[in-house]
A and B are shown apart, each in its own frame.
Chain A
Amino acid sequence: MTASASTAWANRARSATAFLQPPWPALSAIALVGWAVMAWARWAPQTLSFCVDPVGAAVSLHAPDPHLLLAMNPPGPLLGGWMVMTVAMMAPSLAHPVAHVRDRSFRRMRAVGLTGFAAGYLVVWGLAGLVLLPAALSILSLGLSAWTTGVFGVLVVVVWTFSPINRACLRACHRTARLSAFGLAAVLDCTRYGLTHGAACVGACWPLMFAPLLAGDLHIPAMLAAGAFGLGLRLQCLRRPPVRGVGLMRRSDAKRVSLSSPPCAPASRPS
């Protein structure tokens, strides 16, 4: 019987049980907390901000006033919102490194090691926010329509996703680090691992965090889509060398290609 697309989807559904294994549930819970905070913040925008304000940016373009720009986009809530956004979107993709830290630490050191890793990881994303947030603000200050900036964001995602640099960064995401087991060295190694893994993660996923900033009212749906896409990228099997890295999605099970002339007979699954 030829393996059908429906079988492939059934297999994928069955494999979803893997997401019930630790540390997936804990990371999913952390991500959900992030999403909950963002939902709450929509009703309390003075606390956290998840979008640069296009109105403020546009005003600033036509009447450049740093005071007004900062008033419309206060750095504190903006950066705070960025960090919450990072947690919500990136936590599910951290199962592998989190398990690496957990399994290579003494039981009594696991919490400390994971804290060090998380600190290193978030510092890198925080630094990325210091670049990406002003960049988004600059684009929005051009006064373009939300549709135009949204399409621009999608283009950035597509171009970067198909780039060799992105493939190299994704491979770096899969690389684990040596972790000392004892004392301060263990904490430092975990923190260093958080920094290096964060850097690889920023290299691979920065457009996925950047594009929703440009999505206007569709900011939250754009984040959801980008988060799911990023998780898929993180989990995919990276077989191709980076120079030929154009295939992101697995080919259809049913698709067959000819190797020689005459063409091969249609493949079938033995049973």
Chain B
Amino acid sequence: MARSWGGAMTHIRRNVHRLQPGWNPAIFWYARAVRELQRRPLNDPTGWRFLAAMHGFDKRLWGVHGYFSAFDTPPTAKVQDRLWRQCQHQSWYFLPWHRGYLAAFEAIIRATVADLGGPSDWALPYWNYHDGGPRSKGIPDVFLAPIMPDGSANPLRADGRWGGPNEDGSGALVDLSIATLRPALEDDRFERPAPQVGVTGGFGGPQTQFNWHTGANGALEANPHNFIHGMTGGFQRRGSDALPGLMSHPWTAALDPIFWLHHANIDRLWEVWRTRALNHTEPTAPDWLQGPIDRAFEVPDPSGAFHVFVAADMLDTRAPNLDYEYDDITDPLIGGSGRLLSRLNRFSLGFSTDSSSFLVRVMDETTPIELIGANSSAVSLARPETVVPVRMDREGSRKLQASFLRERTASEVIEPDRVFLNIEGVRGRNDALIFKVYLNLPHDAEPSEHPDLYAGAFSLFGVDQASRSDSPHGGGGLTQVIEITRVVDYLQFAGEGLPDLSVRFVAQGDVQPEDRITVDRISVYRLGE
């Protein structure tokens, strides 16, 4: 018999920054319930720490942050193997797993709120850092307050929250010049088939089995998800080592009460993506719908019973097992020109009033991918700025150049090649770091004065786990993919072509040699015929 995790009504998740400021009922009862969950023992499936450990767990890190001690009794190794450390990253299961995880958490909090005498229709608020409000780029004030209205300690305030202010000069926590929405929302494909090199991983992530930290991010995971983790958690130096803030590391992220509001927003952006274009659809492959097959996703309900779910169960938020919807899923990019239109107009190839008479051949996921350049050796990103020369292959550059010179015919417009920078095999010990990437900056140039040469940024969220040789994939590290088509277009216009590239990495924050940030290879791929 089908069972529901929640009740019969559809619950509305609302923007926390649009709620009444201060201790509004949604936040007040969230805090009360969090406190109640935090009192429960480590091996209680409905307890705060058990739920957090389902995302990730590490004795040392938890101990340093004060969430694990010798007096705790963790579940058996068998139970941990089944239920802890489930979080899916660098995978097309990133969104469905976190949706099921959040829904289970929300149901447990809602039941606890009701038990405490609060409203029975409580729903998880979301933190929309992009809503344009004056306070939206920061954590809500009530998450920073030391005490609750009754004078008791505020359980929403987490000690290991060391992020910001960011370096954009605004003093805000979130830097919206880095954490953007366009790359993800304009990615028309949910998943990226193997190989996981060359182009971005699709909106939802690359095709994998159950995946615990290795490989390439999906577009939404890379940006804004990863950036918000690092910007919120930050890190502290303990001697020469970096101690990541709670949100900065996947093993501790879910211990911070703001984690759940951040992921509710990421989940909301999935709804935004799927409603903003008709071709934005999830995979229909059984491997995804009924996956993963190598390890089941399992979450507890308020009674402590566990439920197995697959990706197909996560497609309708109003279904009984999820039972929620968002108050706002309007397209934040509405009114702007999309990726293709912007590009065609950039080349004067675009649509005018008679645009419908042209057939446009687009470089998309079905187009072949080809390596066209790479650097010569592994590099260390131990300094605030690191410049790496990338040699372009003559044959590949020629094909790329030819794609820009293609004649437009009367009936057909062919998009020039798209170009992607791959930062392969990123390893290190500081998950909180973020790097900006610039191409062909003059030697003594100030990066911020050259926005046309800004390619993008990447976060190291998950790099610690991905670097460990005893991890499932042997410490292969992370792969970061940044589309550099816009910068390459600019270089074409500037008459520079693409003979060789100079890639400048600019660290956002205090990077030290002890962080051991290394990159196996920096390569350039073209997506073109």
Residues of A in contact with B (beta carbons under 8 Å apart):
1-3, 7-8, 10-12, 14-15, 17-18, 21, 99, 102-108, 168, 171-176, 178-182, 185, 236-242, 244, 247, 250-251, 253, 256-257, 259-260, 264-271
Q: Which residues of B contact A247 (CB under 8 A)?
A: 81
Closest to A253 in B: B296
Q: Are A270 and B79 in contact (CB under 8 A)?
A: no
Chain B contact residues (Cβ within 8 angstroms of A): what range?
Answer: 35 or more
* B308:A253 contact, CB within 8 angstroms: yes
0/1 interface trace, chain B 289-323, chain A, CB 8 Å (1 if under): 01101111010100111111110010000001100
Given A103-B197, A104-B371, A178-B425, 8 more A-B residue pairs with CB atoms under 8 Å apart are A15-B286, A103-B195, A181-B521, A259-B45, A260-B304, A269-B309, A270-B313, A270-B321
Most buried by A among B287, B294, B378: B294
- At the interface with chain A, which of B334-342, B411-419, B468-476? B468-476
Q: Are B306 and A267 in contact (CB under 8 A)?
A: yes
Enumerate B68-125 residues with CB–CB distance to A below 8 Å.
75, 77-79, 81-83, 85
B194 interface residue per 8 A CB criterion: yes
Asked whether, in the complex, the Cβ of A239 is within 8 Å of the Cβ of B474, the reply is: no
Q: Which of B4, B293, B295 contacts A12 (CB 8 A)?
A: B293
Known: A1-B2, A11-B286, A99-B194. A239 touches B212 (CB 8 A): yes
Q: Provide the residues of chain B in CB contact with A168, threshold 8 Å.
A: 470
Q: By the criterion CB–CB under 8 Å, are B469 and A175 in contact?
A: yes
Closest to B44 in A: A260
The distance from the CB of A81 to the nearest CB of chain B, in whole angstroms, is 31
The residue of chain A having its C-beta at the shortest distance from the C-beta of B368 within the complex is: A107
Within 8 Å CB of B321, what residues of A? 270-271
Interface residue? B386 (CB, 8 A): no
24 contacts between A and B (CB under 8 A): A11-B286, A14-B286, A15-B287, A21-B194, A102-B195, A103-B195, A106-B396, A171-B469, A176-B476, A178-B378, A237-B210, A239-B472, A241-B470, A251-B82, A259-B75, A260-B44, A260-B304, A267-B298, A267-B305, A267-B307, A268-B1, A268-B307, A269-B308, A270-B313
Asked if B256 lies at the interface with its beta carbon under 8 angstroms from chain A, I say no
A236 CA / B298 CA spacing, docked (Å):
19
Whether the pair B395, A174 counts as a contact (CB closer than 8 A) is no
B293/A11 in contact, CB under 8 A = yes
Check if A260 sits within 8 Å of B43, measured CB to CB.
Answer: yes
CA distance A208 to B66 in the complex (A): 46
Write out, one digit per residue, whether chain B residues 191-215 have a CB within 8 A of any chain A CB (1) or not (0).
Answer: 0011101100000000001101000
Question: Main SS of chain A's interface residues?
Answer: loop
Nearest CB of chain B from residue A266's CB, rounded to whole Å:
7
Query: Could you say which residues of chain A place their CB within 8 Å of the CB of B44?
Result: 259-260
CB of B370 within 8 Å of the partner chain: yes
Chain A residues near B378 (CB-CB < 8 A): 178
Nearest first, the 3 A-B pairs at minimum CB distance are A175-B474, A270-B321, A181-B374
**Residues of A with C-beta under 8 A to B3:** 268, 270
Residues of B within 8 A of A103 (CB): 195, 197-198, 369, 371
A269–B474 alpha-carbon span in the complex (Å): 32
Q: Which residues of A contact B293 (CB under 8 A)?
A: 8, 11-12, 15
Give the CA-CA distance A21 to B310 in the complex, in Å.
23
Tell me the nearest residue of chain B to A238, going by C-beta: B472
A46–B286 alpha-carbon span in the complex (Å): 49
- A140 CB to closest chain B CB (Å) equals 36
Given contacts A182-B374, A239-B212, contact A259 B304 (CB under 8 A): yes
Residues of the A chain whose Cβ atoms lie less than 8 Å from the Cβ of B300:
264
A264: chain B residues within 8 A (beta carbon): 45, 300, 303-306
Interface residues of B in 475-529 (CB under 8 A from A): 475-476, 520-521, 523
Closest to A12 in B: B293
Kindly state the separation between the CA atoms of A253 and B286 in the bound complex, as whole angstroms: 17
Measured between alpha carbons, how far is A150 from B212 in the docked complex, in Å?
Answer: 38
- What's the nearest-Cβ distance from chain A to residue B508, in Å? 26
Q: Name the B residues within 8 Å of A257 (CB-CB).
A: 78-79, 82
Chain B stretch 1-50: residues in CB contact (< 8 A) with chain A? 1-5, 43-45
User: A181 near B520 (CB under 8 angstroms)?
Assistant: no
Contacts of B473 in A (CB 8 A): 171, 174-175
Whether B474 lies near A178 (C-beta < 8 A) is no
A175 and B305 contact, CB distance less than 8 A: no
Q: Tell me if B373 counts as interface (CB < 8 A to partner A).
A: yes
Nearest opposing residue in chain A for B475, CB measure = A175
CB pair A259–B198 under 8 Å, yes or no, is: no
